[in-house]
Amino acid sequence: MEKLVIEGGYRLSGEVEVSGSKNASLPIMAATILAEGDYFIDNVPNLRDVRTLSKLLNLLNIETEQKQNSLKIKNNGGNSFEAPYELVKTMRASILVLGPLLGRRGKAKVSLPGGCAIGERPVDQHIKALKAMGAKIEIEHGYIIAECERLKGTDIYFDLVTVTGTENIMMAAACAEGETTIYNAAIEPEVVDLGNFLRKMGVKIEGLGTKTVKIYGKETLSPTNYRVMNDRIEAATLICAAAITGGDVKILGVPKNCLTTVIEKFLEIGVEIEDIDNETVRILSKKKLKAADITTQVYPGFPTDLQAQFMALMTVAEGVSVVTENIFENRFMHVAELKRMGANIRLKDRSAIVTGVEKLSGAHVMASDLRASASLVLAGLIAEGETHIHRIYHLDRGYEKFDEKLNKLGAKIKRVENGD
Ligand SMILES: CC(=O)N[C@H]1[C@@H](OP(=O)(O)OP(=O)(O)OC[C@H]2O[C@@H](n3ccc(=O)[nH]c3=O)[C@H](O)[C@@H]2O)O[C@H](CO)[C@@H](O)[C@@H]1O
Ligand SMILES: C=C(OP(=O)(O)O)C(=O)O
């Protein structure tokens, strides 16, 4: 297994480009189950999760070929319908094949994704909605076993906002008989990107990006070409990296229109953000950062996927910040590790109270999940001495060449084999 060894204390400068979005690429890849034929998907990040979903598609008789950031997909049809435990256990987003498999192939056997470091993460809303569309679903031996004739469009009321739940039902509804209206739908930009992809496949969708989405099901859809949106979470993580090191970094490909709340927060803590053009910013961070409170919420609120990275910034900001996590019940695994590096953080219910310290010190730390890994890298960039981050396979799940990108900006990060 590999670990990262970071020598802290280098100010970042230069230019860096944001990659395509992981959380938009995955549902779009799953949507290729909906129609046989050839697809060309561009701006797909070369990540572990993308490779895992490719393997899963291959088991479903769908060929995939990734060259740098473009992905050729050829859906050869057939009736395979199983997403095995071995793949699902490494990536919860595998659940995204449930809706399209059921919609197109009438059958699905998908390993029930377990909980993970950030929470229990049930999929009851996905199942409830598919049942409402006429599917028969049982849970047996750890698998969701589902079948149907043709799904029937209906009204779906989600009890809570679920991103992949909304995406699964949009895909199922795309080939269902009649219309499906999703109430309390997720409005995250990645849901909209999937909706735009489905539109290119021939699906009529109303209300995309609002809390009520209406999908007009269609018997036959067409394969298509598409360019995936850029990754808003990676973009903001790179802003954090520039800001925490007091750097001067130009970031290209920032989907600013999806980051309004986050950019406001950066400005509040004293990060200087210069708009160069529509998708380019220059981050200047000469002064010490100031404390600020954040509360994670569904879009357009502050994203839970940035909570850990923002907390790393707060560990060295002036004053006391309260970071409240509302989406996942257990997304504070990075706290204990940041404390090993000298951070002053106290957990109380769903909040972390962070009192800024003068400096962090390098230590051996364990990455527990994707964004926790990123927050430890950020802390390592400014810690005194060496930080060793173990279990970085979590980081590789969702950040494309993160260490390489930071090294090009002047960081000192080595990737080494450590045998654990
Ligand atoms: C691949 C992908 O896009 N992952 C994102 C997606 O995850 P994901 O789609 O899994 O997250 P959800 O939006 O579904 O989860 C939100 C909350 O709803 C709960 N819930 C969800 C479904 C359900 O059937 N029952 C239920 O109780 C979850 O446990 C969680 O507490 O949205 C999250 C919230 O923005 C992000 O952190 C993840 O990066
Ligand atoms: C939680 C995340 O991903 P996933 O839903 O795939 O676990 C994430 O991207 O931060």
Nearest to 28 by CA among 228, 166, 208, 204: 228
Residue 419 has a pLDDT of 57
The CATH classification of domain 22-227, taken from the options 3.40.50.150, 3.30.70.240, 3.65.10.10, 3.10.20.30: 3.65.10.10
* 77 DSSP assignment: -
- Please work out, in degrees rounded to the nearest 5, the angle formed at the alpha carbon of residue 277 by the alpha carbons of 274 and 281: 35
Query: Does residue 23 have a known ligand-binding role?
Result: yes
**Residue to mutate, 330, 371, 402, ligand 2, most ligand atoms under 8 Å from C-beta:** 371
Residue 420 has a pLDDT of 61
For residue 381, how far is the Cα from the chain centroid? 23
Which residues are bridge partners to 354 per DSSP? 321, 345
State percent of the chain over pLDDT 90: 96
Q: In what order do the strands lie in the sheet with 351-355?
A: 294-295, 320-324, 351-355, 344-348
Q: Using one digit for the tens of pLDDT, what is the confidence trace for 327-372?
A: 999 899 999 999 999 999 999 999 999 999 999 999 999 999 999 9
Which residues are bridge partners to 127 per DSSP? none
Q: In what order do the strands lie in the sheet with 272-277?
A: 13-17, 248-252, 280-284, 272-277
37 phi and psi angles, rounded to 5 deg: 125, -165
Q: Quick check: CB of 333 below 6 Å from ligand 2?
A: no
Report helix, strand or coil for 384. Answer: strand
Q: How far apart are CA 61 and CA 74, in angstroms?
A: 9
**Residue to mutate, 94, 164, 333, ligand 1, most ligand atoms under 8 Å from C-beta:** 164
State percent of the chain over pLDDT 70: 100
Same CATH fold assignment for domains 2-19+230-417 and 22-227? yes
Domain spans of the chain, in order of start: 2-19+230-417, 22-227
Residue 64 has a pLDDT of 98
Q: How far apart are CA 376 and CA 387, in angstroms?
A: 9
Dig out the tokens for 261 from the structure: 């709340």
Other Cβ atoms less than 10 A from the Cβ of 118: the count is 24
Pick the atom of ligand 2 nearest to 23's CA: 9
Q: Are 52 and 86 in contact (CB under 8 A)?
A: no
Q: Quick check: CB of 159 below 6 Å from ligand 1?
A: no
State the fold for domain 2-19+230-417: UDP-n-acetylglucosamine1-carboxyvinyl-transferase; Chain (3.65.10)
Q: Cβ contacts of residue 122 below 8 Å, gap of 6+? A: none
Its pTM stands at 0.98
Q: Using one digit for the tens of pLDDT, what is the confidence trace for 32-43?
A: 999 999 999 999
Q: Quick check: CB of 372 below 6 Å from ligand 2?
A: no
Residue of the CA atom closest to atom 27 of ligand 1: 122
